[in-house]
C-alpha cells in the first residue's frame, strides 16, 4: 500500500505541475491567479502525501487498507470518465446545449435505477440545461460554446 500511495502522490504532483505550467503559458493576466494557486496547493498536498507515506513506511505505521473495488464498480468509474471525456470533446463540436443534454441523459440512464422513466429523465435534463443556459448565458452574459447544432 505504501507503493500505491507513492505512485498516486507522484502522478498527482505531475498532473498539478503540468496543469500549472499549461495555465502559466496559456492564460493571460489576472485570470490565471486562481488556477495557479489551486495547482500549487495540489502540488503541496501531493508532496505532503509522499512525505507522509515515506515517514510512515520507515516508522512501520500500518496503512489503512480499503477493500478492493469489484469489476462492476471499476467499469462504472471508467464509464463515468468516458462520458466526461466525450462531453468535453463534444462541447466545441455540437455545442454546449446539445452536449450537456446528451451527457445528462446518458449519465442518468446509465447510473440511475433500472425502473426510471427515460422520457422523464430527458425532460429533467432539458429543463436543467435550459435553466442553466438562462442563468449563465442570458442573465450573466457568459459565452457558452456553440457548435453546429445549438
pLDDT in the model for residue 53: 92
pLDDT in the model for residue 67: 73
pLDDT in the model for residue 28: 77
Helix (H, G, I), strand (E, B) or coil at 64: coil
Domain range summary for the chain, segments of one domain joined by +: 2-59, 71-139
User: pLDDT digit of tens for each residue in the chain (150 aa)?
Assistant: 788 889 999 999 999 999 988 888 887 777 778 888 999 999 999 999 999 999 999 998 887 766 777 888 889 999 999 999 999 999 888 999 999 999 999 999 999 877 888 899 999 999 999 999 999 888 888 888 887 766
Residues 47, 49: Cα–Cα separation, whole Å: 5
Question: What phi and psi, each to the nearest 5 degrees, are found at residue 38?
Answer: -65, -40
Q: Counting every residue, how long is the chain?
A: 150
Residues 105, 1: Cα–Cα separation, whole Å: 38
2 and 59 Cβ atoms separated by less than 8 Å: no
pLDDT in the model for residue 51: 95
pLDDT in the model for residue 113: 79
Residues 12, 9: Cα–Cα separation, whole Å: 5
> Residue 17 has which C-alpha cell?
505541475
**CA angle, corner 6, sides to 58 and 60, nearest 5?**
20
Amino acid at each position: 500500500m505504501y507503493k500505491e500511495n507513492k505512485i498516486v502522490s507522484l502522478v498527482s504532483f505531475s498532473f498539478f505541475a503540468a496543469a500549472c505550467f499549461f495555465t502559466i503559458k496559456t492564460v493571460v493576466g489576472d485570470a490565471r491567479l486562481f488556477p495557479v494557486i489551486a495547482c500549487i496547493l495540489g502540488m503541496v498536498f501531493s508532496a505532503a502525501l509522499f512525505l507522509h507515506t515515506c515517514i510512515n513506511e520507515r516508522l512501520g505505521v500500518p496503512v489503512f487498507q480499503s477493500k478492493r473495488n469489484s469489476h462492476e464498480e471499476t467499469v462504472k468509474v471508467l464509464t463515468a470518465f468516458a462520458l466526461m471525456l466525450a462531453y468535453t470533446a463534444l462541447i466545441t463540436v455540437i455545442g454546449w446545449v446539445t452536449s450537456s443534454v446528451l451527457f445528462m441523459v446518458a449519465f442518468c440512464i446509465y447510473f440511475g435505477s433500472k425502473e426510471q422513466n427515460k422520457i422523464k429523465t430527458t425532460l429533467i435534463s432539458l429543463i436543467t440545461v435550459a435553466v442553466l443556459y438562462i442563468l449563465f448565458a442570458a442573465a450573466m452574459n457568459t459565452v457558452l460554446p456553440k457548435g453546429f447544432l445549438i
